[in-house]
Amino acid sequence: MFSLYTFFRMQAVPGFRCRERGERSSHQLVPRMVRVTGPGSSAVGLQGPLRASKPPRELSVEEQHELRRKINSRERKRMQDLNVAMDSLREVMVPYSSSPTSVGGALQHPYLPPGASPTGRRLSKISTLVLARNYILILGSSLQEMRRLLGEVSIGMGVGGTVPRLLLAGGWPFLTGPGQFLLTPPEQQLGVAKCPLLPQNTSPAQEELSVWLSSISESPGCQCGVCRTPRVLHVNPATHFPK
DNA sequence: TAGGCCATCTGGTCCT
DNA sequence: AGGACCAGATGGCCTA
């Protein structure tokens, strides 16, 4: 049953999909009427030409349509840009999600959330984001493990030993596949980074190394191979999500 | 056919 | 005022 109130709660809704996805002709902007149901739709009221409450300025129907077109176009552009960014993220992530391992008899991709299997289909947005997060966490863990091993190696080599700076020269570890990483890209020869922050003519002991590592972690400006090593801090990474 | 994923429209809010 | 961002709503496409 329609009361006058529900009648004026009629609103224009989208959903004109009579053409290819993403393609709409201008006539599709003509709103159609549908009933607003329930309190969940409180965010929406009268839209389009029927909107009656507090118009900031009197607009003709044509002006309102034009304004709507502009706003819709901006929003479409925004979402398309977001999708472009998502695609570029997929390009990075997909290679690392394509080597499943057998977990309990079932194939599981190491960086994918359980249940998400890249079977040739495009990664969904949510899978891409979860995959990226896991990937980043794994990279962070790898980096911390590298630093720990580095400390042990420097101790093992003694005070007069050579500091394995080469191990530090690559910045991020290069992953050649899930669970495998190189310290530098294969085509790049290792070399001691020319870094003003790098200790010169010394063979630091572990404490010195630790101090040095922490100092380079906090030095913002230098772009040398060492200092490009990003700080990875994920002490009990917070898993709360706003909203 | 149900459910997942997605694109789009839309109004509200915040920021510049 | 206008733009960016967000969330709700809707309908289309695809797959199990």
- In whole angstroms, C10 C1' to A238 CA is 34
DSSP letter string, A100-160: -EEETTEEE-TTSPTT---SSSPPPHHHHHHHHHHHHHHHHHHHHHHHHHHHHHHHHT-TT
| pTM of the predicted structure, to 2 decimals | 0.49
What average pLDDT does the segment A9-35 reach? 34
Q: How confident is the model at residue A22 (pLDDT cuts 50, 70, 90)?
A: very low
Residue A131 has pLDDT above 50, yes or no: yes
- In whole angstroms, B6 C1' to A215 CA is 46
* Residue of A152, A134, A148, A59 whose CA lies nearest to A93: A134
Q: How confident is the model at residue A236 (pLDDT cuts 50, 70, 90)?
A: very low
Range among A86-95, A135-144, A188-197 with highest mean pLDDT value: A135-144
C-alpha distances in Å from residue A51, one per residue of A10, A12, A44, A46: 10, 10, 11, 4
- Residue A64: the pLDDT is 84
Q: Is the CB of A44 under 7 A from strand C?
A: yes
Q: Is the CB of A81 under 7 A from strand B?
A: no
- In whole angstroms, C5 C1' to A217 CA is 33
